[in-house]
A and B are shown apart, each in its own frame.
Chain A
Amino acid sequence: MPASRIYDHSLLPHGKTQQEVSLSVMTLLYQEMIQRLYKQSDSIEHFQSKLNDVGYRLGVNVLELLNYRASVPVSIISKAKDLGNTMSNSNTVITNNSTSNAPTTSSNASTLSNFIDEFNSLGKDIPRMKRRDLQIIDILQFIHGTVWSYLFGHVSSDLVKAQGNETEYRIIDNEPQWTQFISGARNQLHYESCNYMLCGVIQGFLKESGFPCDVSAHWQPSDEQPQRIVFLIQFHQQVVAREQLRYSRA
C-alpha cells in the first residue's frame, strides 16, 4: 500500500510565484459542473443548494488554510520562497545530469529533502497563531480582503452593512470571475443561481467558524458593471445576540 503523501507537503504555496489557474480551464470546469448539477436537479432551489454544497467545502478549506498561512511569520515565508526557487532550478540540473553524474544528484536530493522537511512542519516555528475572528466585522473583512485575494487576486468590490438591519451584510463583486461569461440579462434567476457556489464558500467559511448564516446572490447591474453581483449575508439571530451580549460596552 502506498504511504500517504498528503502530510509531506508544506502548507505554504510551493514554487516560485503565486500559483494561478488558467481562466479558460476554470470556466470550462465551472460550466461543466453547472450543466451536470442542473440536469440532476428538479427545481432551481435544488440546483442552488447543490451548487452551494460544492462551495461549502471549499469555504471550510479556505478558512483553515488561509488563517493558518496568516499565522506563519514573514521570515519563514520568504525562506520558503527562496527554497521554491532553488528547487525549481536544481530540478532542471538533476534532469540534465541524471545520466552522467549520479553522486551529485543524490547529494542534491538529500539536501533538498532536508529543506523540504524543514518547511513541511510549520507549527513549531510559529510563535503566535493568528487570532480567531470573534466579531462579525472582523471575519467579514477577512473574507472581503484575504479570501477574495486568494481566490480572485483582488479584494471584493465592497463590503456593506445593511441599514436598519443588524443581521444583514453585503459583499459586492462588480466583476464576478467564475460567472463572467454567463449573461444576466438573458435569464436573471439562472444567472444568480450560477453564483451560488461562491455563496457556499462564504457560508461554509462563516458557519464553520461559528457564524451561522444564510447567503444568497442577487444581480444588481449598473451601467458600468453589467455583471455586478451582490452577496447578501443574513446572520442568524443568535450571532447578533452573542455579539451584543459579549462585546458591546454596556
Chain B
Amino acid sequence: MPQYFAIVGNNDCPLYETEFHGVNGKDTMPQSLKELNPFILHSSLDIIEDLQWQLQPNNRSMLSGQENNGSSLLRGSGPGGVLAGFEAGGSNLASGFLRSTSASFNNVSLGPSSSNVNNTSSSNAATQQLLKNDNCYLSRVDHFYGHVVTAYITYSGLKLVMVHCNVNGVADGTNSNNNNNSSNSNSNTFNDSNNQVMVTGSGLVSVDDAKCKKFYQEVHELYVKTLLNPFYKLGNSIDNPEFNTRVHLIANKHLRAR
C-alpha cells in the first residue's frame, strides 16, 4: 500500500512531505487521493495535539479493545498501580470530544471483517508491550474511510504523520467520484455513503507497529542531524536532496519489506 508522509512543524507549517510507492509502479496512488492526502493528514492534527499531552497516549481503546477493559487492565498492572490510577484519572479528565472519535474508531476497526478482529486480538499483547510507556510513537491516531493515520511526536513537538492509503477501497471510490464529477457538490453526501459501504467491506489498512515505529525513529534521527546543521533555520522546509533520499531508503527498508 502506498503512504503519504509529512513532517509538520510547531506552527502547523509543513517542513517536508513525500509519498512512498512500491517499486515498478506497484502500489501507486490514484490522483484523487494525492489531492486528498494533505487534508486527511491535517484533519488528524487536533487529535495528535490532544494525545501529545496525555500520559499514556497509547493506552487507547483502539489498541486495547474496549475502553473499559483498557482502563481496568491498566489499573491491575502491578507495580505502577498508584500511577496507573492517577493516569486513568488523568485520561478521564482529559477525555474530551476527541476521545469519542477514537471510541467510534474502535467500533469501526473491529466491526468490518472477522479476519481483522483475529489479527488485532492476536497481535494485541505484543503491540501493547511494544507501545507501553512510549509517548513519542503514537501508533494509529485517526482513520478516514479505510485510510489509517499514524503519528510520532519528537521532543521539540514536531509531528511526523503518515497516511497509510487504502488503495483497494479508494480505487472504487475514485470511479464513483469520476462518475459523479459532472454533478455538483450536492452529491457529496451520496459519495460518502457509498465509500462507507465499501470500507466496511474491505476493512482498514493494517499497520505493522513495530516496523512503523522503527521508520519514525530513523526519520527522527535524520531530523536531529538536520537540526544540528548550523545553516538550517528553525522552522524552514527541509529541501536537502540527501534527506529526501535517506527518508525513501528508510521507507523501503521498513515499510516495503512485506
Q: Is B97 an interface residue (CB 8 A)?
A: no
Q: Is B94 an interface residue (CB 8 A)?
A: yes
Q: Across the interface, do A129 and B136 meet the contact criterion of CB distance under 8 Å?
A: yes
Q: Which residues of A contact B93 (CB under 8 A)?
A: 245-246, 250
What's the least CB distance linking A31 to chain B, in Å? 21
Q: Is A131 an interface residue (CB 8 A)?
A: yes
Decide: A246 near B53, CB < 8 A? Known: A123-B214, A129-B137, A131-B134.
Answer: yes
Q: Is A213 an interface residue (CB 8 A)?
A: no
A124 CA to B217 CA in the complex, in Å? Answer: 7
Q: Across the interface, do A246 and B94 meet the contact criterion of CB distance under 8 Å?
A: yes
A7 CA to B218 CA in the complex, in Å? Answer: 11
Listed by A's residue number, 16 A-B pairs whose Cβ atoms lie within 8 Å are: A9-B225, A11-B224, A63-B156, A68-B224, A122-B221, A124-B214, A128-B133, A129-B134, A131-B134, A132-B52, A132-B153, A134-B53, A134-B55, A210-B157, A246-B54, A246-B90
A11 CA to B214 CA in the complex, in Å? Answer: 16
Q: Across the interface, do B218 and A124 meet the contact criterion of CB distance under 8 Å?
A: yes
A60 CA to B136 CA in the complex, in Å? Answer: 17
Interface flags, B127-170, vs A, CB<8A=1, else 0: 00000011111000000000000000111110000000000000
Q: Is B105 an interface residue (CB 8 A)?
A: no
Chain A residues near B (Cβ < 8 Å) = 3-4, 6-7, 9, 11, 57, 60-61, 63-65, 67-68, 121-124, 126, 128-132, 134, 208-210, 242, 245-247, 249-250
A249 CA to B240 CA in the complex, in Å? Answer: 46
Decide: A132 near B228, CB < 8 A? Known: A64-B223, A208-B156, A250-B93.
Answer: no
Q: Across the interface, do B52 and A131 meet the contact criterion of CB distance under 8 Å?
A: no
Sample of 10 further A-B pairs with CB below 8 A, known A64-B223, A129-B217, A246-B90: A4-B241, A6-B228, A61-B227, A63-B155, A64-B154, A64-B156, A132-B135, A134-B135, A245-B94, A250-B93
For window 213-258 of B, CB contacts with A under 8 Å fall at: 214, 217-229, 234, 240-243, 246
Q: Across the interface, do A121 and B136 meet the contact criterion of CB distance under 8 Å?
A: no
A134 CA to B157 CA in the complex, in Å? Answer: 11
Q: Across the interface, do A11 and B89 meet the contact criterion of CB distance under 8 Å?
A: no
Q: Closest 9 CB pairs between A and B? A: A123-B218, A123-B217, A4-B242, A67-B155, A208-B156, A129-B136, A123-B221, A64-B224, A6-B229
A246 CA to B227 CA in the complex, in Å? Answer: 31
Q: Across the interface, do A7 and B134 meet the contact criterion of CB distance under 8 Å?
A: no
Q: Across the interface, do A132 and B89 meet the contact criterion of CB distance under 8 Å?
A: no
Q: Which residues of B contact A64 (CB under 8 A)?
A: 154-156, 223-224, 227
Q: Across the interface, do A68 and B52 meet the contact criterion of CB distance under 8 Å?
A: no
A7 CA to B238 CA in the complex, in Å? Answer: 13
Q: Which residues of A contact B89 (CB under 8 A)?
A: 249-250
Instruction: Give the nearest-CB partner of A5 in chain B.
Output: B242
Decide: A6 near B134, CB < 8 A? Known: A67-B155, A123-B220, A242-B53.
Answer: no
Q: Which residues of B contact A11 (CB under 8 A)?
A: 221, 224-225
Q: Across the interface, do B10 and A208 meet the contact criterion of CB distance under 8 Å?
A: yes
A246 CA to B214 CA in the complex, in Å? Answer: 29
Q: Which residues of B contact A247 (CB under 8 A)?
A: 55, 90
Q: Is B86 an interface residue (CB 8 A)?
A: yes
Q: Across the interface, do A131 and B218 meet the contact criterion of CB distance under 8 Å?
A: no
Q: Which residues of B contact A123 (CB under 8 A)?
A: 214, 217-221
Decide: A6 near B136, CB < 8 A? Known: A64-B155, A124-B217, A245-B93.
Answer: no
Decide: A61 near B157, CB < 8 A? Known: A3-B242, A123-B221, A134-B53.
Answer: no
What's the least CB distance linking B90 to chain A, in Å? 6
The listed residue (B224, B227, B240) touching A4 by CB distance below 8 A is B240
What's the least CB distance linking A202 to chain B, in Å? 14
Q: Which residues of B contact A67 (CB under 8 A)?
A: 155
A3 CA to B243 CA in the complex, in Å? Answer: 11
A83 CA to B54 CA in the complex, in Å? Answer: 39
Q: Across the interface, do B155 and A132 meet the contact criterion of CB distance under 8 Å?
A: yes
For window 87-123 of B, CB contacts with A under 8 Å fall at: 89-90, 93-94
Q: Across the interface, do B94 and A57 meet the contact criterion of CB distance under 8 Å?
A: no
Decide: A209 near B156, CB < 8 A? Known: A57-B234, A246-B90.
Answer: yes
A131 CA to B214 CA in the complex, in Å? Answer: 16
Decide: A7 near B243, CB < 8 A? Known: A65-B228, A134-B135.
Answer: yes
Q: Which residues of B contact A6 (CB under 8 A)?
A: 225-226, 228-229, 242
Q: Which residues of B contact A9 (CB under 8 A)?
A: 225
A131 CA to B223 CA in the complex, in Å? Answer: 18
